Amino acid sequence: MPYYWIANPTPDIASTLLQITAFWLFLDAIQNKSGKNDQPHIISVVAILSAILVTVKLSNIIFALGLGIITLIYSGKHPFDKLGLRAFKKSFVFIFVFISLWVLRGYIQTGYPVFPSDKGGIKFTWSVPKALANYMESCVYCGSKTNGQIVDPQHPIFKEKWAWIDPWIKWNFFNENEYLSGDWKSDSVTMLLLILFPMTMFNWGIGSVDLFILGTIFFLVWLRALFKQKGLFYKTKYLFYLLLVAVASIYFWITVAPEVRFANGIFIVFFITSLLLVKAAYPKMTLKPYLKNVLMILPIIFFIWAFILEIYNNNFHIGGIEKLNKAPMKVFVTKSGFKLLVPTQSDQCWDSDLPSTPFPKENLTLIGNCIDDGFCLKD
């Protein structure tokens, strides 16, 4: 994740920040750092953030559900007082209202609760045809598996279940990285060096791979300690549950929508959780002292190295919020005479005037006399 995304108004950075915030607040609650009286309020906020995550990015659904379930388990094991219970109930009322409005918005805009998914659609005058909704859903999945290069579900690359993996690796680690080129399989040594010593931390796939590898190493170290330290699982069980949620989220991400920027927050959560598991086992570890020190120094060196390289590569932008792009537009007229703007050079409208769309249909028409009345596709 390039750091300049922090200044970029996209749902990806919002999703990442919400994931990390919900995760951090839950850690605060289970470690009781804010005090017992604040616990129910923090847990309530975690539940609310989990619900909001789904509305920002539908691909967050496993992470949000997992975090929500852990929150419920924790609440059941640590009963709140009357004031805390009231706060917890209020949070669920808020979640119900918030999700209901989000689903209602989907029906009003497209006729589907979570478009582009074609599930749960209702036929209105303005509803997107089911075949088109199904096609759009497939396009989103295909685009995320090919870094936006191929969106056609009928492309040969999608005929076999995992055939997209090879080009996915090339697009995410080679074409977008000046240090790699050619066939990744023959360049495996160079790639291994980059994973161990990343040239651009969080830049597309490299940073996420680093975090996953380090996180896996820490988890294996904790697993080794689990068989030697009594009571370690009880002490770290909620961290272990969080790790399972992160792993399930990564699996869902890689099989459904493996666009690297969708999962930056989840990889960070996986890494930090694994690190905290090792930290809990650290005092009683039977490793040699120098190995224990290396284990703790490794992530510090990694982040210092990455930080220096980010400054060197000028990936920090501190000039405030980035302005939205202004794409060159042209006027497109449908068969009914409806005029709208279409980008001339890309598939992004950005901060253009309304109405605008990258791929207009000729049978698009207004329902009434103005755009406020809505529009639909005429058969």
Highest mean pLDDT among 98-112, 288-302, 337-351: 98-112
| pLDDT at residue 306 in the model | 62
Q: pLDDT at residue 127 above 50?
A: yes
Q: How far is 125 from 374, CA to CA, in rounded Å?
A: 10
Q: pLDDT at residue 319 above 60?
A: no
pLDDT band per the 50, 70, 90 thresholds, residue 332 = very high
| pLDDT at residue 303 in the model | 66
pLDDT digits (tens, 9 = 90+) for 214-245: 888 889 888 888 888 888 888 888 899 999 99
Mean pLDDT score of the chain: 77
The C-alpha angle 169, 172, 176, rounded to 5 degrees, equals 130
HSE, side-chain direction, 13 A CA sphere, residue 289: 0
| pLDDT at residue 174 in the model | 59
pLDDT band per the 50, 70, 90 thresholds, residue 199 = very low
**Is the peptide bond preceding residue 355 cis, with omega within 30 degrees of 0?**
yes
Query: CB neighbours of 227 closer than 8 A, spacing ≥ 6?
Result: none
Q: Which token pair is 4?
A: 């300049």
Q: How far is 356 from 340, CA to CA, in rounded Å?
A: 5
H helix intervals, the chain: 11-30, 39-56, 61-77, 82-110, 130-145, 165-170, 188-196, 205-226, 232-256, 264-281, 289-312
Q: pLDDT at residue 120 above 50?
A: yes
Name which of 188-192, 359-363, 365-369 the model is least confident about.
Answer: 188-192
The C-alpha angle 200, 304, 268, rounded to 5 degrees, equals 65
Please give the model's pTM, rounded to 2 decimal places. Answer: 0.76
pLDDT digits (tens, 9 = 90+) for 57-76: 888 889 999 988 888 888 77
**Phi, psi angle pair for 317, to nearest 5°:** -125, 115
**Phi, psi angle pair for 358, to nearest 5°:** -75, -30
Domain ranges of the chain: 329-377
| pLDDT at residue 374 in the model | 80
**Is the peptide bond preceding residue 299 cis, with omega within 30 degrees of 0?**
no
Q: In the predicted model, what is the mean pLDDT of residues 99-114? A: 90
